[in-house]
Every structure is written in structure tokens, then in C-alpha cells.
Amino acid sequence: MKADLRIFGTVLALGAGALALKPAGALASGYEFDGVGARAVARGGAVIADDPDWTAIYWNPANLTDAARQAGLELKAGKSYTHDGDSFDVNGTGGIFSKKNGDSSFFFGSAGAVAPLKDGSALGFGVYLPLLQGADFSDGRSLSPAFSGVDYKGSLGIAVANVSYARKLSDRLSGAVGLDLVYGALSSDLDLGYYLPGPTPDTLKRKLEGDGFGVEGVLGAKYKVSDRLSLGAVFRSGARVGIKGDAKASDVYLGSESTDFKFLLKQPPTSGVGAAWRYSRGLTFTCDFTQTWWRGFSDKTTYAQQGTLLYDTPNTFDWKNSWKLRAGALWNYSRDTDLMFGYAYDTPAIDARSLDFSTAVDVPMHRVSAAVSHRWGDVEGTLAGLGGYNTRTAGGVDYSLGGWYFLGELKYTF
């Protein structure tokens, strides 16, 4: 009987390991990010060649050479909705629970500043969150007689602090370098109920908490072909964030275990090119093409002391690189009021085996956005909104992802 319990406990541990380190999907496709700044996001994020304000620290730091001395703050709040036709997967067994729909609310922001220097150069500073995703899944209606229910809460967040230096290399060409300090934090709490060896349910409990730091480099360039046309390019090197923390697991039959764990979060490199065309004095069109180099993203986990419930797990991901098309328009409606519109489309990165409530519901995402911005002297306020939705069928299972959020941004020029 003890041998049977250990075998079943190992199966549960494998399932728990798969659940514990994989946050649920939010509005972004996979782990993709819509960007920084209400004005920029409202233009579909198509601002690599046209973003002369503090948010250039994210989009293309070369644009800082055209920015005024200013500081800005952006806040966003919204909700996402997910559907997984196979429900919550445990150890590759398929959907053994009834719940197929989920939702998640979020609230976070970004801030930054620009300081122009002599000789056409500038410094930029800022903090933002490229990833803030979480799961909150509970279901007591198991479709398998072996399980009685699941209660899982998990989150994975990344915060970035940036410093950038930009300089005009000629009348038409600007270049920039930047450095990102990347902080990653992971939290997971799982209760998985099961029946063994009799009708009385037991519960496998598993909890992980950890964090760590990494460093990322940024390069940017901007070239003014003419007074009406500009081209831009940006590259971020990605970062290897070594997350370390504490892991605990317990089960009535299998006992309890506690040890340290390590998890390497590979923030992917990104690259992008863009163009900005000033159609008329009051109307500008922009378009960008960006890529995120997800290949090699891993969920491998290593424990300091291995046991029955806590032991090393290999990488199970086979993600692919993704790309995104962005387009936007900026209309100077009046001297102090601007209107902005945008569209973005990106491709999925997560392989079919990893798609789940416990990882991320990743679909080819369509997004539309709009904003209005008004200036009161040295203060500018922007209110923007974004919505997205699409579906995907992978491995014979239907997935859908949609959501919305509002953004508010304040800038002060001095």
C-alpha cells in the first residue's frame, strides 16, 4: 500500500509542479505587453519612430533627443476573460475539472522622466511592469473520481527600472543606449484534493515564494529621412532573472517537505522597426513591426533537497518566437487637444502542450485602442481605452482570450 501511495503521490507531485510555476493568462497574448504610456498604447504601440516623451525609455530611447524636460505618470486598470475548453490540466491528464471560464482584474502603472542635456543629448529614467499576471482558480466539481477539487492561486510579476542616454549623432540621426534592472517575483499556492486509498479525501498542499534580479541592455536609433518621414529601430537583449525562494509541500499520507528552489526566468529579447509619416500638419500615421524571441523559454525548476513531493523538474515548454504588427494615427484636433487611434495584431508563442489555465491562454490577438489628450499649460492629461479578443484551437481544444482596460496619463513639462 505504501508503494502505491508513493506512486500516486509522485503523479500528484508532477501535476503540482506543473501548476506551481505557471501563472494564468491575462489580456496580453502569452506574456506579451502592450507597452508604456496612454498616448503610445492608444496608437497601437506604433511609436518606435515617433515617441518624443518620457515613454521613449521603453519604445525607443533614441526618441529622447526630441523630448522636452518632463515627468510622467501612467495608471491602467482593467479585466481579462479566458476560456479553456479542456479546463484545468493536471500532469497532462487533460481537463479533469468542470470550470472552463475565468476572469482576472488588474491595476498597475508606470512612471518616468526626461532631462535634456547639452549638445543634443538627453537622459531618461523610468519604472514599469512588463509582466503582471496571476491565476485564481477554484473548482470542486472534478470529472475524475480520483480528484475532489483544486484551489490554486499564483502570480508572476516583473518590474523594470530603466536609465537611458540618447544623443544626436548628426542633424538626422540619433542613437541611444539603455540599461534595465529587472526584478522578478513568483508566488504560488496550490491545494489539490484527491481520494486515496478510501472515500475520505486527502489534500496535497504546495506553496512557493521567490524573487530575483537580472540586467538587460537596450539599443535604439532614429533617422529623419525628411521633415515628414522618420524611421526607427530598437533592440532589447533580454535578461536572465535567477529566482530563488522557499518551497513547502505536505500531504497526510506522504508527510511534509521544505527546501529552497531555483527557477531561471528568461525574459526574452525583443526587436522592432518602425516608421512615422506626417501626412499633414495635424495628422501623423505610424506603423511598427516587432518580434519577441521566446524560443528557449523554460519552466525548469531545481530544488536544494529533493523528496517525494519536491524534486527537480525538466523544461516542458516548446515556445516559438512571435511577431506583432502595430498601426496608429495621431490627429491634432486643436492646439491643445489630440485624438489617437490604434490597432495591433500579434501571433501566439506558447506551444499547444503548454496551453492551459495553469500556464496562459495564448491566442493570436487583435487589439483596438483610442485616446483623447488635452493640455493645460505645462500639464497634459490623457485618457485611453484598449480592447482585445480572439480564439485559437490547439490540440483539438478551443481557447479564447479577451479583455479591456483604461489608461490615464499625466505629464508635466518644465
C-alpha cell at 234: 530598437
Give the closest residue to 41 by CA, choosing from 93, 88, 110. Answer: 110
| Residue 385 in grid coordinates | 481605452
User: Which residues make Cβ contacts (< 8 Å) with residue 7, sequence separation at least 6?
Assistant: none
* Residue among 211, 268, 31 nearest 131 (CA): 31
Q: How far is CA 187 from CA 15, 46, 135, in A?
A: 17, 33, 10
pLDDT value for 356 = 79
370-401 in b/e form (b: 16+ CB < 10 A) is: bbbbebeeeebebebbbebbbebebeebebbb
In angstroms, the CA 334 to CA 380 distance is 14
Written as nine digits, the cell of 139 is: 473548482
Q: What pLDDT is attached to residue 60?
A: 97
Residues in the chain: 414
**Residues β-bridged to residue 133:** 156
Nearest to 29 by CA among 319, 360, 270: 360
Strands, E, within 57-146: which ranges? 70-84, 101-116, 121-139
When pLDDT is averaged across residues 192-205 and rounded to a whole number, the result is 77
What's the pTM?
0.88
In the chain, the number of structural domains is 1
The residues, ordered by sequence, that sit 6+ positions from 118 with a Cβ below 8 Å of its Cβ are: none
Asked if the model's pLDDT at residue 152 lies above 90, the reply is no
Please give the residue range of the domain that contains residue 165: 2-413
Read off the C-alpha cell for 263.
527557477
The DSSP output letter for 4 is: H
Looking at the DSSP bridge assignments, the partners of residue 278 are 284
Q: Which residue has the higher pLDDT, 372 or 94?
A: 372
346 Cβ partners below 8 Å, 6+ apart?
Answer: 29, 32, 322, 323, 324, 325, 364, 365
Q: Tell me: pLDDT of 4 over 60.
A: no
Give alpha helix (H) positions in 35-119.
38-42, 56-59
> pLDDT digit string (tens) for 315-368?
888 889 999 999 999 999 999 999 999 999 999 998 888 887 767 788 999 999
| CB distance 104 to 64 below 8 Å | no
Mean of pLDDT over the chain: 87
Residue 199's pLDDT band (boundaries 50, 70, 90)?
Answer: low
Q: What is the pLDDT of residue 184?
A: 92
Taking residues 239-251, report their average pLDDT. 93
Q: What is the pLDDT of residues 101-121, one digit of tens each?
A: 888 888 889 999 999 998 889
Please provide the distance, in angstroms rounded to a whole number, between the alpha carbons at the two ends of the chain: 75
State the average pLDDT over residues 207-219: 96
With beta carbons less than 8 A apart as the criterion, state whether 286 and 331 touch.
Answer: no
The pLDDT value recorded for residue 215 is 97
Assign residue 392 the CATH number of its domain. Answer: 2.40.160.60
Assess whether pLDDT exceeds 90 at residue 66: yes
Task: Tally helices (H) and strands (E) across the chain.
Answer: 3, 17
Tally of CA atoms within 13 A in the half-sphere of 284 that contains its CB: 23
Q: Residue 86: pLDDT above 90?
A: no
pLDDT for position 284: 97
